Amino acid sequence: METFFPFTGEVTLVTVTLITYSRSFSIDYKNNCFQKDGKPFQYISGSIHYSRIPREYWKDRLLKMYMTGLNAIQVYVPWNFHETVQGVFNFAGDRDLEYFLNLANQTGLLVILRPGPYICAEWEMGGLPAWLLQKPNIILRSADTEYLKPASEWLAVLLTKMRPWLYQNGGNIISVQVENEYGSYFACDYNYMRHLHTVFRLFLGEDVILFTTDGNTDKEMICGTLEGLYATIDFGTDTNITAAFIRQRRFEPKGPLVNSEFYTGWLDHWGDKHASVETVKVSKMLGEMLFMGASVNMYMFEGGTNFGYWNGKSAISVYFYDYNAPLSEAGDPTDKLLAIRDVIKNFRDIPVGPMPPATPKFAYGFVTLQKVSLLDTLSPQGPVRSQYPLAFEEIKQYYGFMLYRTTLPRDVPEPTPLISPLNGIHDCAYVSVNGVYQGLMERDTALVMNVTGQQGDQLDILVENMGRVNFGSYINDKKGLLGNLILGNDVLTDWSIYPLDIDTAVANGWLQADQSGSAMEAGDGPMIYSGTLKSTGLAWDTFVKLNGWNKGQVWVNEVNLGRYWTQRGPQQTLYVPGPFLSATQPNNITVLELERAPSHRRILFMDRPHSELTMTFNMLLSHEDIELFLNHSGWFVS
């Protein structure tokens, strides 16, 4: 196997003698525990993803975790969040990992780092950059050089930054996970894991604990573990704890028991009921594991939000990320958090002082939007022409939307099937003929629809990328039209493909409605609407509800809040963190509605989420109460 390191110089090892005292974090194989500074140590940790929380709130969430009694946090690093363009590394603003580590350190929290390179995390493509898919035959998460070279280059950058943050070097990182649940991936490629092991040791040194985490089956533990990496296991409340730890012991006969992902809740799919795990089950089982002396990480402690296009996808549908976790999506303490704190009290002293309250929320009320734009104006560089359809990755537009345009090859006076024969729509296609919306096609479920029109009519197909598969064998999840479309008996050809850069258009203010009142009528099919939320002097958190809207994407000022799919649910509101709003200037609201906007074209900013989501202890009213209140108070902000 070849190895790739992005430098050619020699590695010089410098020995430093510590005279005063030494910080150490290690595994005590004799006493089956961790050892911190020479003393036995048990971690009680929670997962938090900085990439799902605005930077301004990192400290607030960390403090709430600390006040619950946690002594550590577990943190994924999404590669694609930091290296969106190959070779260009972004660690600024919401991507400032070192600032996050610093805040955790100041708060008194140790860190269990999970740098991947694959992280799953219900995150777009499991954290892998979509530009990897430009290599058509790449075998992701394997020793395939097409994958291993860019992965090693990324790790060289990341791990070099992380080295000073290791506990023994004066930082707060106590252990580092290699890959993520690798045993559940089909490749089972030990050369890949050995290579990662070498890279992690090279950049982090010999002292840090490197570990693996795998699901609770023999197959997963066999393919995911490697000599030299401490084997840990993960499981939730439906599992027999004794049996799971016996399994860990088979792979790691001595050392601490560790559950690296104890599930406090679960992920949500569009169209399913909101996932939940009962608080009593979580607290009972947490107590049992801590009583056994196990170190436990709760996954998630705060789920946060899939902003922008960062959500992952399973084989069937897309997630949002409240996770029914102890801290709600908006970072508010829940009953589950209080119950967990009561359990932790039995095992360690928890910090004295009150739990920080929920951040303030505000119901700004209704905003009426105006239709401003059709989509084909949003492709600054114009179309790419191709006889057959090209995938997003081939055009280097990795996220969001592309418009595929051609003409009808002949008259189709009767409803004629438009077919994607090989399930080649990734993931949704919104079809119009001469600007008149015809309907939609959807991956796996709706691969045929009827079209009528005349030869030469313009056929527009807007394709939506709904997030790449983040788990399993299908993570090579290309987007766009991946095969030919057939109308009747004709293969459609001669496409003009417009990559749409809606986010830049929003950021530049190009989509603000002309306030003179000459707004276009609402219509069917994909369209952009905009309006303003007047300044109120407040920039508090709020939740936007799109009652009567179908499916699309929302921006507040230049921030892409993520996807709404009111029709499918269960999520009915999008979280708008206060720092995204201006207290003094009108806030620009932009909505891309893909199917049909309601005739009222109103959206509502509320002070609590309207859905079947977690009820936090400061959420006492039902959503019916809120609507009733709003309907009778006549309270319209704009």
- When CB distances to ligand NAG are compared, the closest residue is 509
521 tagged catalytic: no
Give the separation between CA 467 and CA 15, rounded to whole angstroms: 46
Which is closer to ligand NAG, CB of 383 or CB of 488? 488
Q: CA-based angle 463:52:235, to the nearest 5?
A: 100
Q: Name which of residues 91 to 120 contact ligand NAG (CB under 6 A).
A: 102, 105
Q: How far is the CB of 111 from ligand NAG (least distance, A)?
A: 11
Q: What spatial distance separates the first Cα and last Cα of the chain, rounded to whole Å?
A: 64
Can you tell me which of 359, 557, 566, 638 binds ligand NAG, judged by CB under 6 A? 557
Strand ranges, E, within 314-369: 319-320, 365-368
Q: Name which of residues 470 to 509 contact ligand NAG (CB under 6 A).
A: 509
Strand ranges, E, within 20-105: 25-28, 33-36, 39-41, 44-48, 72-76
Residues in the chain: 638
Can you tell me which of 359, 368, 512, 638 binds ligand NAG, judged by CB under 6 A? 512
Q: Name which of residues 401 to 430 contact ligand NAG (CB under 6 A).
A: 415
Identified catalytic residue from 181, 329, 464, 595: 181
Record the tokens describing residue 279, joined without a space.
């608080």
Residue 448, interface with ligand NAG (CB under 6 A)?
Answer: yes
The 3 state secondary structure assigned to 407-438 is ECCCCEEEEEEEECCCCCEECEEEEEECCEEE
Which is closer to ligand NAG, CB of 279 or CB of 587? 587
Stretch that binds ligand NAG, among 242-250, 350-358, 518-526, 563-571 (CB under 6 A): 242-250
Residue 168, interface with ligand NAG (CB under 6 A)?
Answer: no
Identified catalytic residue from 122, 179, 252, 261: 261
Record the tokens describing residue 622, joined without a space.
């039902």
Report the chain's C-alpha Rg in angstroms.
26
Q: What is the DSSP secondary structure assignment for residue 344, as one 8-state letter? A: H
CB 256 within 8 Å of CB 275: no
Residue 449, interface with ligand NAG (CB under 6 A)?
Answer: yes
Residue 271, interface with ligand NAG (CB under 6 A)?
Answer: no
Stretch that binds ligand NAG, among 239-247, 314-322, 465-473, 607-615 (CB under 6 A): 239-247
Residue 63, interface with ligand NAG (CB under 6 A)?
Answer: no
Give the separation between CA 221 and CA 184, rounded to whole angstroms: 9
558 tagged catalytic: no
Q: How far is the CB of 144 from ligand NAG (least distance, A)?
A: 36
Residue 588, interface with ligand NAG (CB under 6 A)?
Answer: yes
Give the separation between CA 237 and CA 593, rounded to whole angstroms: 39
Give the separation between CA 237 and CA 262, rounded to whole angstroms: 8
Number of Cα atoms under 13 Å in the Cβ half of residue 216 = 19
Residue 622, interface with ligand NAG (CB under 6 A)?
Answer: no
Residue 35, interface with ligand NAG (CB under 6 A)?
Answer: no
The set of catalytic residues is 181, 261
What is the binding site for ligand NAG (CB under 6 A)? 102, 105, 170-172, 240, 242-243, 246, 415, 448-450, 509, 512, 557, 582, 585, 587-588
